[in-house]
């Protein structure tokens, strides 16, 4: 109980400090030319208070203090310690505390690391960031207090959904938020720079590191979410175009676009308006995503709270931020004079503009697909579902020229370029087409579209690979990142083409035989674990080469809350995953067995790590090495 | 060097033979396009809920009876409404949704071309 | 000047978006399929529970009576609660209660009826759950009020005082 009180009052104090910070910053802005050191101290104090509050919540979870309503709703004495801790941010209130933690941390780091920037710029960034922070403090204290008391204190908690007890999911929110929430700094500093007319090459170099850092975390965060979905949810998929997934993808698309633009702005004073718009949009999309996921307006596997009061708060907050941004952009932004805008049509600037063009298209597809059903329902009371077919139909055709542009673009020089390496560009083009034709012909229908798709991915793959080996790249981090992206698309395509599946009903001791596979349901073990009863089914699977694999999927019957989960058994190798899952069929004594062979799954994860690694390299590159 | 790469890739392709389980393309396509109504955001293909299992049995039956893919979609649309289909039909309600991204793409292209041509002049 | 126009235009768009989201918040997001294309009864073939004979939908429902079609199973907990309301309709001359036994084991279903009483004139045995889908149901329990081979009313979830009263007043 004590910890809940400390945590709560730490939040109230933190809110108070926000107001103090805004006051001092405005005064400092108008008066002095050196930083009032009290501001730095208060920023640190604010962060420290949020840390205390967060720690108190963790402690309450670990101690199973059920007088705290959040702990009561989301924990249970039999939960393992690691998941008690992770349960802190696995719920609506706790995750908002995580939001605050990242918001305050980033502004603190911003202040510590920007010694050389103009004072007014730093102060104004702080002010804008504090506006966001105040909003979240209010939101937390008013509608989502993690430290509500319930009396009398219950004996036991309501438990946490066992699907959420997974290591990947435990670290998914912190990593994701470092990217997602971290884009707040980009938002605040872009607004500050716009107001002070400081959007320039210098500012671009400075903000670039923040963009890369946010981007790397966001990429890894999305990866962790997909890995969790694949290993834990039991349907063998990793991306479903579910609204919550889309909500994390949209800021990523905007951020990637911004990353490319900032590279241009670093070199020349162009695209300033566009950079500002992107900076504002990234965080706006994050906030919009928060709204969609927490307000109950969407229907999804992993929405958080379903509370319209909270939804209304975030909605008003979100649109306040939008209108502030619009105001500042329209009244304070002065476009750069036109004479510096000239570049030849065949140049790196153009290829980046083409990147922007396509990325904005992809962003609009995801945004419209996610939001349109909501609007349609309001206007016409008709409910439609928008799922993978919509996104695939609109995105896949455009991927083809996009991949080609990714291959050729980096090879172009600034301002004006002719294409070197013409021979290799054409040679690889031919090789890609032939190779993909061979691959696709063997295994699939839809020969034409698949061939073209695979060949464009292969093209990017070969070009970036060759560039890497002969060191003919201007920028190693970009080379690695593009290579990773080609690997990602290739892995997804090949996985899609070559995956196969058997669904059948089997009793213990029965065997399923097909022309290529034999599945034997050998036996069943039952065990009582700490907070669930476990039923493990033992299978042995024989494929056409007489190679036998043993797989043991599990069913878990939990006591608190009362649900049954299916844990797939997945054998991962470099070449493919073998995936098996069983389910109870209501009132029958056989099980529903689903066996899938999924090639290249591991490469999908590896490729995203390669992409992030490229970004990471760029982050650590020293200024003078460029 | 390149020859080795080529041979390696061809070897990889030919080693795919032992990876396959059996397949049923049309059924997969249909079940991936239908929403599991008792789940929160999963297709019938992905879901193992009772409803999804029954749906799969029914789809098998309909396919055996000779229903085409479109007829099966119509069958479910009659009983559950447009909500059960993940591929939104192009009708007066949804054409905005399908066309708006394309429109944005074209507008983006127009802006770019205008700026580039303006520069050239 | 041009800038101000653009600002007003974009602000207007965002205001509209805000209103749409605000309205969207008011809607529930639990889907109840109110909008169906037709409410004629579906055509289906099914096996009867007690006799194993196959019946056809065309001769299952006569035109002059009210029918109460109830989807139920022995493993469904809310079905127990609504069962008393179904028993109340058993003796009524105006309405005939029929059942679809959904994804059940015959033994368990029989025990359920022995324990709580059997209100059903006839029961269709839907072991795989596909007849329920023909009706557009997706879970248990669900109940349909039928007259003249048309579905008048549909109840998703168990019957209660209120809905039972409603049925009574309709069949008068």
pLDDT single digits (tens) C104-122: 888 888 999 999 888 888 8
Whether C127 has a pLDDT exceeding 90, the answer reads no
By the 8 A CB rule, do A211 and A255 touch?
yes
Of B6, B40, B85, the CB nearest to A299: B40
Please tell me which residue, A416 or C140, carries the higher pLDDT value. Answer: C140
Q: Which of A116-120, A368-372, A608-612 has the lowest mean pLDDT?
A: A116-120
In contact, A524 and A537? CB cutoff 8 Å: yes
CA distance B16 to chain C (A): 36
Please answer yes or no on whether B97 and A575 come within 8 Å at the CB atom. no
Residue B62, number of CB atoms within 10 A of its CB: 19
Q: Which of A102, A134, A165 is the last residue of a domain?
A: A165
Find the closest chain A residue to C16 by CA distance: A375
Is B16 a residue whose pLDDT tops 60? no
Q: Given CB atoms, is C157 within the 8 Å cutoff of chain B?
A: no
What is the spatial distance between Cα A349 and Cα A265, in angstroms, rounded to a whole number?
10
| Phi, psi values for residue C47, rounded to 5° | -90, 140
pLDDT at residue C140 above 50? yes
User: Over 80: is that where the pLDDT of A203 sits?
Assistant: yes
Q: Is the pLDDT of residue C32 over 60?
A: no
For A68-105, how does the pLDDT look when each residue is reduced to its tens digit (9 = 90+)?
999 998 888 878 889 889 889 988 899 999 999 999 99
pLDDT digits (tens, 9 = 90+) for B32-48: 899 888 877 788 888 87
Tell me the average pLDDT across A167-171. 86
Per-residue pLDDT tens digits for A277-303: 999 999 999 999 988 888 877 765 555
Interchain contact, C29 vs A298, CB within 8 Å: yes
pLDDT score, position C149: 81
CA gap A504, A511 in Å, rounded:
10
- The pLDDT, as a whole number, for residue A156 is 83
Considering only CB atoms, which chain C residues are within 8 Å of A377? 24, 27
Task: Check CB contact under 8 Å for C24 and A375.
Answer: yes
Q: Mean pLDDT across the stretch A252-274?
A: 90
Nearest CA in chain A to C6: A330
Range among A232-236, A406-410, B112-116 rated most confident:
A406-410
- Taking CA atoms, A246 is separated from A92, A582, B16, in Å, by 19, 29, 33
C129 and B54: CB-CB below 8 Å?
Answer: yes
Chain A closest-CA separation from residue C29 CA (Å): 6
d(CA A359, CA A130): 31
- Indicate whether this model's pTM tops 0.90: no
Q: Do the domain assignments include residue A95?
A: yes
Domain total in chain A: 2
Q: Residue A373 class from Cβ within 10 Å (0-12 exposed, 13-18 middle, 19+ buried)? A: buried
Find the CB nearest B86 among A234, A341, A389. Answer: A389
Q: What is the predicted pLDDT for the residue at A527? A: 92
The pLDDT score that the predictor gives to residue A604 is 95
CA distances (Å), C101 to each of A65, A259, C45, C91, in order? 46, 59, 14, 21
Statement: residue A584 has pLDDT above 80: yes
Q: Does B84 touch chain A (CB under 8 A)?
A: yes
Whether residue A378 lies within 8 A of chain B, CB to CB, comes out as: no
User: Is A587 within 8 Å of C103 when comparing Cβ atoms?
Assistant: yes
* Domain assignment of residue A188, yes or no: no
**Domain segments of chain C: what residues?**
1-30, 32-171
Residues from chain C that touch A325, judged by Cβ atoms under 8 A, are none
B1, B12, B16, B102, best to mutate vs chain A, most A CBs in 10 Å: B16
Does C136 contact B61 at a Cβ distance shorter than 8 Å?
no
Q: Which residues of C touch B57 (CB under 8 A)?
A: 128-130
Q: What is the mean pLDDT of residues A306-335?
A: 88
Does the CB of C22 have a partner CB in chain B at under 8 Å?
no
Cβ-defined contact of A322 to C23 (cutoff 8 Å): no
> Looking at chain B, which residue has its C-alpha nearest residue C136?
B79
Give the residue from B54, B85, B91 with the most C CB atoms within 10 Å of its CB, the best one to mutate: B54
The set of chains that have 3 or more CB pairs under 8 A with A is B, C
| pLDDT the model gives residue A624 | 45
Chains sharing 3 or more CB pairs under 8 A with chain B: A, C
A574 lies within 8 A of chain C by CB: no
Closest by CA to A250, choosing from A356, A370, A133, A352, is A370
Say if B9 is an interface residue toward chain A (CB within 8 Å): yes
Indicate whether A217 belongs to any domain: no
Q: Does A323 touch chain C (CB under 8 A)?
A: yes
Asked if A587 is an interface residue toward chain C (Cβ–Cβ < 8 A), one would say yes
pLDDT of A397 reads: 92
Nearest CB among A382, A439, A501 relative to B13 is that of A439
| Rounded CA separation A129/A181 (Å) | 11
Closest-CA residue of C relative to A323 is C11
Query: pLDDT confidence of A344, banded at 50, 70, 90?
Result: low
Name the CA dihedral angle for A393, A394, A397, A399, rounded to a multiple of 10 degrees: -120
Query: Most B CBs within 10 Å: which of C133, C136, C137, C151, as the mutation test of the B interface?
Result: C133
- A311 at interface of C, judged by CB pairs closer than 8 A: yes
Residue among A240, A516, A586 whose CB faces B20 most closely:
A516
Can you give the pLDDT at residue A472?
63
d(C-alpha A215, C-alpha A616), whole Å: 9
Give the model confidence (pLDDT) of A463-503 as tens digits: 888 888 877 666 888 889 999 999 999 999 989 888 888 88
pLDDT-wise least confident of A4-13, A415-424, B12-21, C9-18 = B12-21
Determine the pLDDT at residue A286: 94
CB contact under 8 A, C136 and B80: yes
| A320 and chain C in contact, CB less than 8 A | no
Mean pLDDT of chain A: 87
pLDDT of A202 reads 87
CB contact under 8 A, C75 and A586: yes
What pLDDT was estimated at residue A415? 67
**Chain B closest-CA separation from residue C46 CA (Å):** 13
Let me know: does A588 contact C105? Beta carbons within 8 Å.
yes
**Stretch A302-324: mean pLDDT:** 82
The parent domain of residue A112 ranges over: 1-165
Considering only CB atoms, C11 lies closest to which of A308, A326, A587, namely: A326
Determine, yes or no, domain membership for A284: no
pLDDT of residue A8: 93
Note whether C36 contacts B61, CB cutoff 8 Å. Answer: no
Each residue of A535-555: pLDDT tens digit? 999 999 988 777 888 999 999
Quick check: helix, strand or coil at residue B21?
A: coil
Residues contacting residue C97 through CB under 8 Å, at least 6 positions apart: C67, C68, C70, C86, C89, C90, C119, C120, C121
Say what the ipTM of the complex is: 0.84
C103: left (phi over 0), alpha (psi -120 to 50) or beta: left
Going by the DSSP 8-state scheme, the letter that residue A67 receives in this structure is T
Better pLDDT: A81 or A165: A81
Asked if pLDDT for residue A252 goes beyond 80, the answer is yes
Angle at CA of residue A390, ends A218 and A605, nearest 5°: 35
Percent of chain B with pLDDT strictly greater than 90: 15
- Give the residue from chain B lying closest to C37, CA to CA: B78
- The answer to whether B51 contacts C128, with C-beta atoms less than 8 Å apart, is no
The overall average pLDDT reported for chain C is: 83
- pLDDT tens digits, residue range A8-50? 999 999 999 999 999 999 988 888 777 778 899 999 999 999 9
Task: Please tell me which chains touch C, using 3 or more CB pairs under 8 Å as the contact test.
Answer: A, B
DSSP string, C61-100: S-SSSEEEEEEE-TT-HHHHHHHHHHHHHHT-SSEEEEEE
Chain A interface test: which of C6, C7, C8, C25 (most A C-beta within 10 Å): C25
Pairwise pLDDT comparison (B13 vs C105), residue with the higher score: C105
| For B87, nearest residue in chain A (alpha carbons) | A389
> What number of residues does chain A have?
626
Q: Evaluate the CA torsion angle A517, A521, A522, A527 in order and state its sign.
A: positive
Instruction: Give the burial class of A403: count Cβ atoms within 10 A of its Cβ; 0-12 exposed, 13-18 middle, 19 or more buried.
Output: buried
Which residues from chain C sit within 8 angstroms of residue A315, using beta carbons? 18, 21-22, 25
Six-digit token pair at B72? 């099966």
Residue A561 to residue C53: CA distance in whole angstroms? 42
Highest average pLDDT, of A168-182, A424-438, C20-34, comes from: A168-182
A432 band by pLDDT with thresholds 50, 70 and 90: confident
Among candidates C133, C136, C139 on the partner chain, residue whose Cβ is nearest the Cβ of B58: C133
Using alpha carbons, select from A503, A488, A445, A501 the residue that is nearest to residue A600. A488
Length of chain C: 172
Question: Per CB distance under 8 Å, which residues of C are interface residues toward A?
Answer: 3-4, 6-7, 10-11, 14, 18, 20-27, 29, 31, 35, 73-75, 103-105, 108
Q: Do B82 and A301 touch (CB under 8 A)?
A: no
Instruction: Report d(CA A261, CA A249) in Å as an integer.
Output: 18
Sign, CA dihedral A56-A62-A67-A71, equals: positive
Work out the minimum CA distance from B87 to partner chain A, whole angstroms. 5
Which residue of chain B has the CA closest to A363?
B101
Mean pLDDT of C145-164: 85
Q: Note whether B79 contacts C136, CB cutoff 8 Å.
A: yes
* Superfamily classification of domain C32-171: Glutaredoxin (3.40.30.10)
Asked if residue B87 lies in contact with residue A390, where contact means CB atoms within 8 angstroms, the answer is: yes
pLDDT score at B20: 39
Name every chain A residue with its beta carbon within 8 A of the beta carbon of C20. 374-375, 378-379
Q: Identify the band that residue B18 occupies on the pLDDT scale cut at 50, 70 and 90.
A: very low
């Amino acid at each position: 109980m004590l910890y809940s009180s400390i945590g709560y009052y730490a939040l109230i104090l933190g809110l108070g400090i926000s107001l103090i910070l805004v006051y001092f910053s405005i005064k400092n802005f108008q008066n002095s030319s050196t930083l009032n050191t009290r501001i730095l101290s208060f920023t640190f104090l604010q962060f420290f208070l949020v840390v205390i509050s967060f720690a108190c919540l963790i402690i309450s979870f670990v101690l199973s203090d059920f007088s705290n309503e959040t702990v009561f709703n989301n924990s249970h004495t039999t939960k393992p310690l690691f998941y008690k801790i992770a349960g802190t941010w696995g719920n609506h209130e706790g995750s908002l505390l995580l939001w605050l933690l990242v918001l305050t941390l980033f502004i603190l780091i911003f202040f510590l690391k920007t010694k050389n920037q103009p004072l007014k710029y730093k102060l104004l960034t702080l002010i804008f960031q504090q506006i966001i922070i105040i909003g979240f403090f209010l939101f937390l204290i008013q509608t989502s207090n993690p430290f509500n008391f319930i009396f009398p204190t219950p004996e036991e908690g309501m438990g946490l959904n066992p699907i959420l007890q997974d290591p990947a999911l435990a670290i998914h929110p912190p990593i994701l938020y470092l990217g997602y929430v971290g884009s707040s700094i980009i938002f605040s500093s872009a607004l500050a720079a716009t107001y002070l007319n400081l959007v320039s090459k210098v500012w671009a170099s400075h903000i670039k590191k923040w963009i890369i850092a946010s981007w790397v975390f966001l990429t890894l965060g999305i990866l962790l979410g997909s890995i969790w979905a694949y290993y834990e949810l039991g349907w063998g998929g990793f991306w479903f175009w579910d609204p919550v997934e889309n909500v994390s993808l949209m800021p990523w698309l905007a951020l990637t676009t911004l990353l490319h633009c900032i590279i241009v702005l670093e070199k020349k004073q162009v695209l300033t308006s566009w950079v500002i718009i992107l900076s504002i949009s990234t965080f706006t999309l994050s906030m919009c995503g928060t709204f969609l996921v927490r307000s109950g307006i969407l229907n999804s596997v992993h929405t958080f709270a379903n509370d319209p009061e909270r939804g209304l708060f975030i909605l008003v907050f979100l649109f306040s931020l939008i209108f502030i941004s619009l105001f500042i952009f329209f009244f304070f932004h002065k476009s750069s004079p036109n004479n510096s805008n000239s570049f030849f049509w065949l140049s790196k600037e153009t290829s980046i503009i083409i990147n922007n063009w396509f990325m904005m298209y992809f962003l609009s597809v995801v945004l419209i697909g996610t939001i349109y059903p909501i609007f349609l329902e309001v206007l016409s009371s008709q409910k439609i579902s928008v799922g993978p077919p919509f996104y695939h139909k609109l995105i896949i055709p455009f991927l083809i020229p996009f991949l080609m542009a990714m291959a050729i673009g980096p090879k172009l020089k600034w301002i004006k370029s002719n294409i070197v390496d013409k021979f290799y560009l054409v040679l690889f083009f031919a090789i890609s087409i032939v190779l993909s034709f061979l691959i696709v012909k063997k295994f699939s229908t839809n020969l034409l579209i698949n061939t073209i798709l695979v060949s464009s991915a292969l093209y990017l793959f070969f070009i970036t690979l060759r560039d890497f080996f002969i060191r003919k790249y201007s920028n190693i981090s970009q080379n690695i990142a593009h290579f990773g992206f080609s690997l990602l698309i290739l892995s997804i395509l090949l996985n899609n083409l070559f995956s196969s599946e058997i669904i059948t009903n089997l009793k213990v001791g029965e065997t399923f035989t097909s022309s290529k596979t034999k599945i034997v349901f050998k036996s069943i073990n039952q065990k009582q674990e700490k907070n669930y009863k476990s039923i493990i089914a033992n299978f042995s699977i024989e494929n056409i080469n007489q190679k036998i694999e043993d797989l043991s999927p599990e069913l878990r019957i939990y006591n608190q809350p009362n649900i049954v989960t299916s844990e797939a058994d997945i054998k991962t190798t470099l070449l493919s995953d073998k995936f098996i899952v069983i389910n109870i069929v209501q009132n029958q004594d056989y099980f529903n067995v689903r066996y899938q062979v999924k090639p290249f799954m591991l490469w999908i994860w590896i490729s995203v790590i390669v992409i992030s690694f490229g970004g990471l390299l760029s982050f650590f590159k020293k200024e003078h090495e460029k | 060097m390149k020859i080795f790469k080529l041979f390696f890739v061809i070897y990889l392709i030919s080693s795919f033979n032992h990876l396959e389980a059996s397949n049923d393309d049309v059924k997969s396509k249909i079940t991936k396009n239908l929403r599991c109504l008792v789940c929160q955001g999963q297709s019938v293909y992905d879901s193992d809920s009772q409803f999804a299992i029954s749906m799969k049995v029914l789809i098998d039956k309909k396919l055996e009876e000779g229903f085409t893919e479109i007829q099966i979609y119509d069958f479910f649309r009659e009983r559950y409404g447009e909500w059960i289909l993940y591929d939104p039909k192009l009708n007066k309600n949804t054409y905005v949704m399908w066309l708006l991204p394309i429109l944005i793409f074209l507008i983006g292209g127009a802006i770019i071309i205008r700026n580039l041509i303006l520069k050239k002049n | 000047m041009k800038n101000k126009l653009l600002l007003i235009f974009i602000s207007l768009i965002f205001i509209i978006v805000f209103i749409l989201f605000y309205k969207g918040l008011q809607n529930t997001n639990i889907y109840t399929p109110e909008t169906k294309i037709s409410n004629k009864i579906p055509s289906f073939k099914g096996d009867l529970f007690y006799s194993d004979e196959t019946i056809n939908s065309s001769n299952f429902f006569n035109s002059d009576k009210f029918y109460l079609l109830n989807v139920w199973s022995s493993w469904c907990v809310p079905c127990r609660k609504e069962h008393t309301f179904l028993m109340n309709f058993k003796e009524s001359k105006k309405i005939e209660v029929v059942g679809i036994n959904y994804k059940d084991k015959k033994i368990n279903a029989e025990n359920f009826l022995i324990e709580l009483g059997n209100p059903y004139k006839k029961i269709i045995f839907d072991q795989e759950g596909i007849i329920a889908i023909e009706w557009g149901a997706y879970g248990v329990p669900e109940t349909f009020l039928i007259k003249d081979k048309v579905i008048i009313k549909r109840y998703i979830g168990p019957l209660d005082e209120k809905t039972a009263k409603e049925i009574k007043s309709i069949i008068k």
